[in-house]
Amino acid sequence: MSTVPLPEPLDHARFNELVLAAQNAAKSAYNPYSRFAVGCALLSKSGQVYCGCNIENASYSVTICAERVAASQAVLRRDLDWDTIVVVSPQRVTPCGVCRQFLHEFAPQLRVWNGYLDNLELIGPTLLHELLPSAMTLSRS
């Protein structure tokens, strides 16, 4: 049984802003190989929003997912305390395994919402550590 208190729900206006930001970010997807556009918006506890889209590569495995693009921007700003991520795509996808591990490094309690590009049928929040139980961690010195 978890003793971690549940985070306060986001207010409606903030949540809608995140969804719109994720939908907008998906328009920047560089996806000539899969034609699958993913957009996301990561809300930091500072109030900042970082967006990401998927960026594909001719060497397919070099592709980076939308979630890691957004998270990398937050790290670049040294803004490491994250609240919520909204991910939208043509088919509902939850963050892939690599992205789960990447996000978990900073925010095991991150609230994850998933939905379609063109409507607001979002599912969530799922906490990141529920998506990735037993994540790989190291103690930091």
The residues annotated with a catalytic role in the active site are 67
Closest CA to 27 of 50, 49, 48, 54: 54
Give the residue with the Cβ less far from ligand THU, 49 or 70.
70
Distances (CA, A) of 90 to 34, 69, 131: 12, 19, 21
Scan for tokens 């969530």, then name that residue.
124
Binding site for ligand THU (CB under 6 A): 31, 34, 36, 38, 54, 56, 63, 65-67, 87, 93, 95-96, 99
Shortest reach from residue 131's CB to ligand THU, in Å: 11
Name the token pair of 94. 């939850």
43/112 with CB nearer ligand THU: 112
Taking the complex as a whole, the smallest distance from the CB of residue 60 to ligand THU amounts, in Å, to 9
Comparing CB distances to ligand THU, the nearer of 36 and 106 is: 36
How many whole angstroms separate alpha carbon 108 and alpha carbon 40? 18
